[in-house]
Amino acid sequence: MKYESQSVAKLYFIAAIGLFVGQIVFGLVMGLQYVMGDFMFPEIPFNVARMVHTNLLIVWLLFGFMGAAYYLIPEEAETELHSPMLAKLMFWVFLVAGALTILGYLLVPYSTLAEMTGNSLLPTMGREFLEQPTITKIGIVIVALSFLYNVGFTVLKGRKTVITLVLLIGLAGLAIFFLFSFYNPDNLVKDKYYWWFVVHLWVEGVWELIMASILAFVLIKTTGVDREIIEKWLYIIIAMALITGLIGTGHHFFWIGAPEYWLWWGSIFSALEPIPFFMMTVFAFNMVNKRRINHPNQPAVLWALGTAVMAFLGAGVWGFMHTLAPVNYYTHGTQITAAHGHMAFYGAYVMIVLAIISYAMPLLRGRKACNSAASQVAEMWSFWLMTISMVFITLFLTGAGILQVYLQRFSDEPMSFMVVQDKIELFYWMREGAGVVFLIGLLLYVYSFFIGGEERTVEEKV
């Protein structure tokens, strides 16, 4: 750690990991509800568990992104953070607001929560992933603006690098596109259309900028490759991400009442969306092969390579699989979408946050470069446990999805939804099993932070 104020990142990272555990626990609850329909009913119905699962994911990733920014921006800008106090204050604001929202989901019926928070004044609740009460949404905007102000001024007074610039553009885009969550027209078609301006332009747009810049930072630090080369790659990757991703939004407009030409525009551009992810994989492996140093923090390098590969598989390959309109006509809104969503989020965003945590946390805890060998071994085990179980979750959901598509939509005598769900129960059981392994991997990950011992020596030249 080169600058005192970087230490605020530690708070954010700890919160992120804590919420991650919560997310997975509720994921397992949902997984069980898929096969034991009355599990926890009516105390925690499926929709509540799902809200907690997805909202916790979004919140902890945001914590991760903010922590990453607070860590790497002072180091890149070569100056102390503009206001560490504000960063700490906003951390608690965000954490308390998040916790209250989750408690609200769990303790009172959703409609009561809507009433308590005055949703009728500015109705924004009840839409997928944007279930937060309006007041929480306003809180998120305030936190995001203070955060942008804080890191923005840090960059302004210090060195401006491509990494900080790209990260800032990504984070600013995140805040700007979130504003669409306040637009909830009565017209269902418009509601759905602009809903994607938050969801798609986040995860297939500006978040990719955030991911690529964090990846570039970790690679510079762990491979010692010349900054010029890495920055050039960074620009090309994010250029491709936005060039394909912006019009690629159209693959969500096929069946929601938007005009027919989106079938073509959306198919064509989203078919190209794997390109930036493929380039990211080539980039990561290329840089590690060209490394000038052998960094002693092996898990950080592993996470960095892992995120590049898994993002390509999850977002690129699994996305491409059902993005063309004639295919999507049958797969839209089935377990295929769920399969893609799980691996894409894990590969692209969970793993990049874990990569920066893995790199930064030892330094934040006052170590020279990395954790002890024993801790690193445990962390790498957790990497493989989580990653492989996620691969299996994806495969099982894909299997369930293919069967669902066939039985419910493609065969000569289509069956009803619930009948089909019963028939594919086995896949849901196997998914739940893989989910348990994932939780074990995650607990091992958490445990690895508490393994002490002699830390490894500092980096050596290749």
Partner 1 sequence: MSEVFTKSMARNIFYGGSVFFFLLLLALTFQTHEAWPERDNHENLTDTVRHGKELWEVNNCVGCHSLLGEGAYFAPELGNVYQRYGNSTDAIKAFIMSRPKEGIPGRRSMPQFNFDDEELEAIAQFLKYASGINTNDWPPNIQG
Partner 2 sequence: MYIQETIKTKYPPGDLALWIFICAELLVFGVFFAAYAFARANNIELFNQYQATLNTDLALINTIALLTSSYFVVSAIIAIKENQQQKSSRFLLLAILGGITFLIFKMTEYSHHMSEGINLTTNLFYMFYLSLTFFHFMHVILGIMILLVLWINTRKGTYTTEEHNGLVSGGAYWHMVDMVWLILFPLIYIMR
For binding to partner 2 (CB under 8 A), which residues are involved? 232, 236, 240, 243, 259-261, 264-265, 267-269, 271-272, 275
Binding residue for partner 1 (CB under 8 A) from 6, 323, 334, 389? 334
As measured in angstroms, the least distance from the Cβ of 328 to partner 1 is 9
Q: Give Cβ neighbours of residue 228 (< 8 Å, ≥ 6 apart).
A: none
Site residues for partner 1, 340-399, by CB under 8 A, read none
- Picked from partner 2, partner 1, none, the partner binding residue 34 (CB below 5 to 8 A depending on kind) is partner 1
Give the Cα separation of 8 and 66 in Å (integer): 10
Compare residues 178 and 254 and give the one whose CB is closer to partner 2.
254
Give the Cα separation of 134 and 182 in Å (integer): 8
Type of residue at 80: E
As measured in angstroms, the least distance from the Cβ of 240 to partner 1 is 8
Question: In this structure, how many other beta carbons lie within 10 angstroms of the beta carbon of residue 12?
Answer: 28
Binding residue for partner 1 (CB under 8 A) from 249, 307, 382, 398? 249
- Picked from partner 2, partner 1, none, the partner binding residue 268 (CB below 5 to 8 A depending on kind) is partner 2
Residue 442: name the closest of 99, 40, 7, 27 by CA. Answer: 27
- Picked from partner 2, partner 1, none, the partner binding residue 338 (CB below 5 to 8 A depending on kind) is partner 1
Strands (DSSP E) along 370-451, which ranges?
A: none
Site residues for partner 1, 184-243, by CB under 8 A, read 184, 186-190, 192-193, 228, 231-232, 235-236, 238-239, 242-243
- Picked from partner 1, partner 2, none, the partner binding residue 51 (CB below 5 to 8 A depending on kind) is partner 1
Give the Cα separation of 177 and 170 in Å (integer): 10
Compare residues 106 and 275 and give the one whose CB is closer to partner 2.
275
Stretch that binds partner 1, among 30-38, 275-283, 299-307, 362-370 (CB under 8 A): 30-38
Q: Write out the two tokens for 70.
A: 């607070």
As measured in angstroms, the least distance from the Cβ of 259 to partner 2 is 5
**In DSSP terms, which residues pair with 246 in a beta bridge?**
none
DSSP 460: E
Compare residues 241 and 355 and give the one whose CB is closer to partner 2.
241
- Picked from partner 1, partner 2, none, the partner binding residue 121 (CB below 5 to 8 A depending on kind) is none
Stretch that binds partner 1, among 294-302, 308-316, 333-341, 454-462 (CB under 8 A): 333-341
CB-based contacts of 131-139 (< 8 A; 24+ apart in sequence) = 131/51, 131/55, 131/105, 132/55, 132/101, 133/101, 133/104, 134/182, 136/97, 136/98, 136/100, 136/101, 137/178, 137/181, 137/182, 139/93, 139/94, 139/97
